[in-house]
Amino acid sequence: METLVEHQISVAGTDIGFGCAEGDTLLRSALRAGLSLSYECNSGSCGSCRYELVEGEMRDRRPDAPGLSDRDRRKGRRLACQSEPLSACSVRIGVSAEPAIHRPVRQTAQLREVRPLTHDMSEFVFATPLPAAFSPGQYAMITLPDGSAERAYSMSNVGNCHGNWRFVVKRAPGGAATSVLFELEAGATVGLDGPYGNAHLRDDDRPIACVGGGSGIGAMISIVLGVAALPDAGDRTVHLFIGGRTVDDVVLPPALELAARRIGSLHIHPAVSEQDGADRETGHAFQGFVHQAVVADLGDAVADFTFYAAGPPAMTDALARSLVLERGVDADRLHFDRFC
Ligand SMILES: Cc1cc2nc3c(=O)[nH]c(=O)nc-3n(C[C@H](O)[C@H](O)[C@H](O)COP(=O)(O)OP(=O)(O)OC[C@H]3O[C@@H](n4cnc5c(N)ncnc54)[C@H](O)[C@@H]3O)c2cc1C
Ligand code: FES
């Protein structure tokens, strides 16, 4: 029988310790142990999981990760999402008291169906043996069948006991992962590790604005479906902003019709940045970037909302600037994990 090697990790200056299985990362093993660390992308790009190694040996999965600057590297900083312990280690890292709602689990997922949504986006449906335990707005890490790449994708459904995981994926030109994913056939198996992410639906009574750019629409559909499943859905107000370059990039999945029947007041605002969408048969679209549609359409009421966002970093950064810096929205009421 194979013996599972586990390295003991201690957090310097605290009495916190946890085990990390060989091949797992510092970040993921801490989350699996029920601890809460600062992170966003889980991919080495955002830099929010930086820490210092005090003692022990770590393998760096992505030595050139953009999440670390030259200055960070000179100062000996590392990324918890890219660090695989090779021995017992002591680390200096912030651990907060708020544990994750769902601990991430690694399993194998089978592709059931691929449903084309636009010219470059499809919804992928996977099934796992264990229930799909996650909160609306979270994401999972998908590993290609040959193990050559692992990427983050947000669930576009809600948690369920059937092990059903849906993802809206946009094909990236020449992309290492998406060029393989879009060629997979039903029955193919991938690695699925999750859930991850902090931009999940919160329990508050405010009206909700969901802002999705490009493939970020998947995470926002999950949030809308999550609101539709609340016992007081009939009293809720949700504004869903969907951004794309042209109306052909803006997708309204059928699941939204179901949500519209349960949510008291659901408003859908398409926004297109590259053509006069108002002239097209598909309905009236705001002409401009999706963050501009948010401030234009919500007006002075913008201060009353809780915001969820998903999409390219340029979109989420522009939204954060215009809401928090220009409109004075409390940063704690804007939730997103950068797609970087
Ligand atoms: C939190 C989060 C949620 C996301 N949700 C979605 C979604 O719902 N739908 C969707 O279409 N896309 C989503 N993405 C983007 C997705 O993860 C991929 O970046 C995208 O599909 C392009 O991948 P690619 O390999 O085809 O393209 P490529 O151009 O080959 O890869 C580029 C992306 O891969 C990352 N990358 C490169 N090397 C590595 C490495 N060694 N390890 C880890 N990452 C690496 C880069 O940071 C870059 O973002 C999400 C990203 C994040 C961070
Ligand atoms: S760089 Fe580690 S979570 Fe983004």
Q: With a 6 A CB cut-off, is 337 part of the ligand 2 pocket?
A: no
Instruction: Please choose, from the candidates 290, 134, 125, 141, the residue with its C-alpha nearest in 3D space to the C-alpha of residue 222.
Output: 134
Which atom belonging to ligand 2 lies closest to the Cα atom of 39?
3
- CATH fold for the domain made of 105-196: Elongation Factor Tu (Ef-tu); domain 3 (2.40.30)
Q: What are phi and psi of 74, to 5 degrees?
A: -60, -35
What ranges do the domains of the chain cover? Answer: 6-96, 105-196, 208-335
Q: With a 6 A CB cut-off, is 209 part of the ligand 2 pocket?
A: no
Dist CA 336 CA 94 (whole Å): 20
Q: Looking at residue 143, what is its pLDDT? A: 98
Q: In Å, what is the CA distance from 267 to each residue of 101, 207, 237, 285, 333?
A: 29, 11, 8, 13, 20
- Please report, to the nearest 10 degrees, the dihedral formed by the alpha carbons of residues 132, 134, 139, 142 taken in order: -30
Q: With a 6 A CB cut-off, is 38 part of the ligand 2 pocket?
A: no
Ligand sitting nearest the alpha carbon of 48: 2
Structure tokens at 127: 């099934």
Which atom belonging to ligand 2 lies closest to the Cα atom of 67?
1
Q: Looking at residue 283, what is its pLDDT? A: 58
**Residue 198 CA, ligand 1 centroid: distance in Å:** 17
Q: Looking at residue 225, what is its pLDDT? A: 97
Q: Mutate which of 28, 31, 49, 93 to test ligand 2's pocket (most atoms within 8 Å of Cβ)? A: 49
Residue 293, judged by CB atoms within 10 A of its CB (0-12, 13-18, 19+), counts as buried
Instruction: Please choose, from the candidates 190, 128, 191, the residue with its C-alpha nearest in 3D space to the C-alpha of residue 160.
Output: 128
Q: Domain 6-96: which CATH class?
A: alpha beta
Cis peptide before 195 (omega within 30 of 0): yes
**Residue 340 CA, ligand 1 centroid: distance in Å:** 7
**Residue 258 CA, ligand 2 centroid: distance in Å:** 35
Dist CA 128 CA 190 (whole Å): 10
Q: With a 6 A CB cut-off, is 312 part of the ligand 1 pocket?
A: no
Ligand sitting nearest the alpha carbon of 175: 1
Which atom belonging to ligand 2 lies closest to the Cα atom of 79?
2
Number of H helices, E strands in the chain: 7, 21
Question: What does 73-121 look like in DSSP terms, one character per residue?
Answer: HHTTEEEGGGEEESS-EEEE--EES---SS--EEEEEEEEEEEE-SSSE
The CA-based angle 65-335-265, given to 5 degrees, is 145
Q: Matching CATH topology for 6-96 and 208-335?
A: no
**Residue 340 CA, ligand 2 centroid: distance in Å:** 9
Q: With a 6 A CB cut-off, is 320 part of the ligand 1 pocket?
A: no
Q: With a 6 A CB cut-off, is 118 part of the ligand 1 pocket?
A: no
Instruction: Please choose, from the candidates 230, 226, 224, 282, the residue with its C-alpha nearest in 3D space to the C-alpha of residue 256.
Output: 224
Dist CA 286 CA 111 (whole Å): 36
Positions in the chain short of pLDDT 50: 277, 281-282
CATH of 208-335, one of 3.30.70.20, 3.40.50.80, 3.40.47.10, 3.40.50.2300: 3.40.50.80
